[in-house]
Structure 1
Amino acid sequence: MDCFRTSPSSSWIYPTVILCLFGFFSMMRPSEPFLIPYLSGPSKNLSSTEITNEILPVWTYSYLALLLPVFVLTDYVRYKPVIVLQGFSLVATWLLLLFGQGVRVMQLVEFVYGLVTATEVAYYAYIYSVVQPQHYQKVSGYCRSVTLVAYTTASVLAQLLVSLADVSYFLLNVLSLASVSVAFFFSLLLPMPKKSMFFHAKPGQAAPRRPAGEAAGPEDAHKGQRAVSQEPLAASGDVEGGPLSSPQPPSAALRTLVQWLRDLQECYTSKRLFYWSLWWALSTAGYNQVVNYVQILWDYKAPSQDSSVYNGAVEAIATFGGAVAAFAMGYVTVDWDLLGELALAVFSVVSAGSLFLMHYTLNIWACYAGYLIFKSSYMLLITIAVFQIAANLSVERYALVFGMDTFIALVIQTIMTVVVVDQRGLHLSVSIQFLVYGSYFAVIAGIFLIRSIYILYLAKCRKEAASLATAQSPAKQHPRDSNGAVLSTKL
């Protein structure tokens, strides 16, 4: 491995391998598809009401509170310390989950897990600060794909262990603890970046613009339950050489903040980017709520103490199906400027219909099928949205826009949690919650259906106006002689 660190031609290999190993083991958590049966089972003996209304909302609140501070801290400390913090937080989460008891301790688990998800930005940001720009697309694909593979593998393994070997949920959590401990070890081996995108960037060096077509791919589909599309902070500049930048004074930090605000304002003045970002934020908020509470719905439809549980298989199939659908979209040629928002409307209708099915059905298999449709549709569209938003943005603006979109999604999700789930709000049962979520996606579908009709109408009007202008343009007249023959205009 030392040769990887010293050879310029392969300097990107060592950090990429270590980061991919960290990503694999951090997502190799076979206990996650069976979290709710574990909490409601003999090990923790928590009621469905306690889990739904008192414990799970803490994750949403902590994620929202920590996201922006961690976003700024990640760049300032140059990524690696935040990745190490993420690895440590994962270990702490599973230690508390294994040996803690009671509602308060489980709320602490959710808070620490909120720190885990908030620090995921460092995982996607790190690689852009230690590899050269020509490797960005390749390395991004590796880092995203490995987490998807890990989550799918963990789900399949968990289902096999539960169904065939009768392994307890406690032992699944022990396996998860072992895996995240390995991830924490690999985080310590990462080399420290020499610079970052904002606070430690080389003066006067702009980030390269991302060529259209390079921004997204099937690997951009979200990885795993509760992984909300944490898109990368990317670092500009060269990797090799250069002394470390000295810490910026407060005035420099203030200038950076002002520059962020100006960049965001300029980005969102583009109507196309604004509406795709709006869909991204609205849908991600709803998606987070669904994946956060779907296990409780499954336990409500078919209690884990009285029936077989296939959560792992369903999660694996849903993740794989979404990845295949997203990959297939890379080979479909569509005029997204014209039909993109119509696609958002149509698939939002599909999402709403699948959630209504999950609410109204009494059959657990129909409920599973609804979730498969919902997750696959979301992963398909989020891949398209990532490409549409990021295709022509610089690396810095790519980070800022997705960071802001994620923050807006969390604000919306927090409002939904307070109103729909929290005991201080409506305190709805889990089945009624999914009726609300289905209605929410129906509203999203209505917004973008109206918008798409408007776009198609304008396109038709422009086409008719262009045809009329062509028809009414006078034909070029040529001089003719007395017999009507065209005279030559040559001298």
Structure 2
Amino acid sequence: MEVLKRWKSDWSYPTTLLCIYGFFSTVKPLEPFLTPYLTGPDKNLTTEQVNNQIFPVWTYSYLGVLVPVFLLTDWLRYKPVVVFQGVMLFVTTALMRWTASVPAMQVMQFFYGVVTASEVAYFSYIYSVVDLKRYRKATSYSRSVQLLGFTIGSVLGQLIVSFNLMSYNNMVIFTLVLTAIALFTSCFLPMPQRSMFFHRKHPREAQSVEGVKGTVEAEQRSGSLDEMRGENVQKVETKDAEEDEGESDGAKSCSQVILQLWRDFRQCYSSRQLLYWSLWWAMATCGYNQTVNYVQVLWEHIEPSQNFSIYNGGVEATSNLLSAATAYGIGFTDVRWEQWGELALGGFSGLGAAALFLMTFTGNIWVCYSSYVVFKCLYMLLITIAMYQIAADLSMERYALVFGANNFGALALQTIITSVVVDSRGLGLTIIPQFTIYSSYFAAISVVFLVRGLFTCWRQQRNNREERPADKRDSLKSEEHKF
């Protein structure tokens, strides 16, 4: 019992529970085969219904609930939203199994948008229950276990489909069991006592405690016992009042928090370098999300699942592992990204656009699969660099704000593209014209950042040339001064 109590008070206890939740909530063997499942005999929906009526609902739902969920997550101190995410994921999976109409699938996509928006609670929870010195390890564990869950789910789904071990409907039931385990685990997470914005620790608490200690020591040295007792009572009362004030100040009102967020937002984006990196982040993430969301429809168009033994799960698993290796390897490179970063963004985005064009116009499913893996690895490489560059000079609170703002910008762009290009109430384009637009979109990003990167390099070289004569003049002056 004593060992269990010590473990519960240690940072490894909430980290372990969060990792268990993250793993079981991401093992989804059906996800790489969602389009074949919806368009197959189990649901009997058409590709047009899935592409133009069902999938767009996720984007609209995600955008609509992102800001309220972000504020509620911090106000409720993370755990309730993590549990809520588990409930919504269970409901989403149940709807997928026991309903079949287009409106029901649209409701399912709405709930899945809520699940996606609630991920902010998963990624923020750990920072409120572990010490600052444990942030890197805890973040590494919680993110890695999610990637592991996605990979195992994809491999498991591929094995089930390739060897015909169970039907798609039974795969959903299996996923429902895994989701129930995740939901059960989330209920045992410790409740955090603070959060980043609404329930921050008031700095005067620590100061008041130190002040009382110093005063007590000084009075003890003076030897005046009666005065010391009276003063101690007064100091303790003052300390309690300050703690109460600190608690009320810590639980700030929504208007105060929003005002503070707006000030931080303006100060963060006043940096040009951060602004350019964030601009790429939002634009590229928008295109990446659109590609990943609709790539199964493209695969189904190139090689229908009724005529071919599909390998969507294997491709997703391979792309996840190679993306993780790429993102990990970037940590060992020694490159001046502040100088060469924008050129890298433009060049690699161009390669991603080429991979997308190849995916769009090839008739070979294996070429399409390979191009998708290349595209995903390139995006993960660049987003890792962008996240590192942005986080380098920001506090945890401001990084969370910039992270949320960039993703909101990406989602807003994605909503515009979805409503105009994909939605049946807009242009309602088929899958090949859609991917032609996505490819051209990345080509445009590439041109913008290549031009910007070349300009940055030219300006840097010009500044270096101007500094050299100035340095020579200074050295000559110092020599003359000696003589």
Fold match by TM threshold 0.5:
yes
Structure-2 separation of matches of 1:4 and 1:413:
47
Structure-2 separation of matches of 1:476 and 1:126:
58
Summarize the Cα distance change of 1:477–1:314 in structure 2 as closer, same or farther, 3 Å threshold.
closer
Report the CA distance between 1:245 and its aligned residue: 7.9
1:335 aligns with 336
Q: Deviations over 1:21-55 (max 9, x none)?
A: 00000001111011000000111000000000000
Summarize the Cα distance change of 1:196–1:478 in structure 2 as closer, same or farther, 3 Å threshold.
closer
Structure-2 separation of matches of 1:87 and 1:245:
33
Q: Deviations over 1:242-271 (max 9, x none)?
A: 999867799732121111000010000111
For 1:127, the aligned partner's letter is I
The question of whether the paired residues in 2 share the 8 Å contact of 1:80 and 1:193 is answered with yes
Report the CA distance between 1:119 and its aligned residue: 0.3
Structure-2 separation of matches of 1:261 and 1:401:
11
2:419 aligns with 418
The question of whether the paired residues in 2 share the 8 Å contact of 1:19 and 1:190 is answered with yes
Matches within 5 A, 1:317-396: 317-396=318-397
For 1:352, the aligned partner's letter is A
Summarize the Cα distance change of 1:452–1:21 in structure 2 as closer, same or farther, 3 Å threshold.
same
Summarize the Cα distance change of 1:88–1:478 in structure 2 as closer, same or farther, 3 Å threshold.
closer
The question of whether the paired residues in 2 share the 8 Å contact of 1:80 and 1:126 is answered with yes
Report the CA distance between 1:81 and its aligned residue: 0.4
For 2:82, the aligned partner's letter is I
For 2:16, the aligned partner's letter is V
Report the CA distance between 1:178 and its aligned residue: 1.1
Structure-2 separation of matches of 1:296 and 1:361:
14
Structure-1 separation of matches of 2:129 and 2:430:
48
For 1:18, the aligned partner's letter is L
Summarize the Cα distance change of 1:197–1:2 in structure 2 as closer, same or farther, 3 Å threshold.
farther
For 1:260, the aligned partner's letter is L
Task: Say whether 1:278 aligns with 2:302.
Answer: no
Structure-2 separation of matches of 1:87 and 1:2:
31
SS in 2 for 1:56: helix
Q: Which runs of no fewer than 5 residues in structure 2 stay unpaired?
A: 206-242
Structure-1 separation of matches of 2:392 and 2:271:
13
Report the CA distance between 1:402 and its aligned residue: 0.5
The question of whether the paired residues in 1 share the 8 Å contact of 2:198 and 2:252 is answered with no
2:449 aligns with 448
Structure-2 separation of matches of 1:249 and 1:203:
6
Structure-1 separation of matches of 2:340 and 2:427:
38
Matches within 5 A, 1:80-229: 80-204=79-203
SS in 1 for 2:160: helix
Q: Deviations over 1:104-142 (max 9, x none)?
A: 000000000000000000001111111111111100000
For 1:253, the aligned partner's letter is C
SS in 1 for 2:203: coil
Matches within 5 A, 1:282-293: 282-293=283-294
Structure-1 separation of matches of 2:251 and 2:78:
20
1:221 aligns with none
Q: Deviations over 1:295-315 (max 9, x none)?
A: 000001001111111000000
Q: Deviations over 1:407-443 (max 9, x none)?
A: 1110000000011101121111111111000000011
Summarize the Cα distance change of 1:66–1:365 in structure 2 as closer, same or farther, 3 Å threshold.
same
Report the CA distance between 1:477 and its aligned residue: 5.5
Structure-2 separation of matches of 1:205 and 1:99:
55
Structure-1 separation of matches of 2:2 and 2:467:
64
Structure-1 separation of matches of 2:413 and 2:257:
27
Structure-2 separation of matches of 1:187 and 1:303:
39
Report the CA distance between 1:476 and its aligned residue: 4.6
1:48 aligns with 47
Structure-2 separation of matches of 1:37 and 1:322:
25
Q: Deviations over 1:254-297 (max 9, x none)?
A: 12111100001000011111111111110111111001000000
Report the CA distance between 1:345 and its aligned residue: 0.5
The question of whether the paired residues in 1 share the 8 Å contact of 2:199 and 2:251 is answered with no
Structure-1 separation of matches of 2:368 and 2:343:
27
For 1:364, the aligned partner's letter is I
Q: Deviations over 1:332-386 (max 9, x none)?
A: 1101011011110111001100110011101111111111111111111111111
Structure-2 separation of matches of 1:115 and 1:184:
15
For 1:136, the aligned partner's letter is Y
Structure-1 separation of matches of 2:106 and 2:334:
47
Structure-2 separation of matches of 1:283 and 1:179:
32
The question of whether the paired residues in 2 share the 8 Å contact of 1:200 and 1:244 is answered with no
For 1:368, the aligned partner's letter is Y
Q: Which runs of no fewer than 5 residues in structure 1 stay unpaired?
A: 207-241, 480-487
1:462 aligns with 463
Report the CA distance between 1:7 and its aligned residue: 5.8
Structure-2 separation of matches of 1:300 and 1:205:
63
SS in 2 for 1:309: coil
Report the CA distance between 1:4 and its aligned residue: 5.2
Looking at CA atoms only, which structure, 1 or 2, has the larger radius of gyration? Answer: 2
1:226 aligns with none
Task: Supply the RMSD in Å over aligned alpha carbons.
Answer: 2.1
Structure-1 separation of matches of 2:145 and 2:336:
31
Q: Comparing both structures, which one devotes a greater share of its residues to helix?
A: 2
Report the CA distance between 1:176 and its aligned residue: 1.1
Structure-2 separation of matches of 1:247 and 1:291:
45
The question of whether the paired residues in 2 share the 8 Å contact of 1:201 and 1:245 is answered with no
Summarize the Cα distance change of 1:147–1:457 in structure 2 as closer, same or farther, 3 Å threshold.
same
The question of whether the paired residues in 2 share the 8 Å contact of 1:129 and 1:196 is answered with yes
The question of whether the paired residues in 1 share the 8 Å contact of 2:421 and 2:429 is answered with yes
Structure-2 separation of matches of 1:243 and 1:174:
50
Report the CA distance between 1:478 and its aligned residue: 5.8
TM value normalised by structure 2: 0.88
Summarize the Cα distance change of 1:156–1:245 in structure 2 as closer, same or farther, 3 Å threshold.
farther
Summarize the Cα distance change of 1:135–1:73 in structure 2 as closer, same or farther, 3 Å threshold.
same
Aligned residues: 445
Summarize the Cα distance change of 1:318–1:478 in structure 2 as closer, same or farther, 3 Å threshold.
closer
Q: Deviations over 1:153-188 (max 9, x none)?
A: 111111111102343222221211111111001011
Structure-2 separation of matches of 1:250 and 1:336:
39
Higher alpha-carbon deviation: 160-169 or 266-275: 160-169
For 1:46, the aligned partner's letter is L
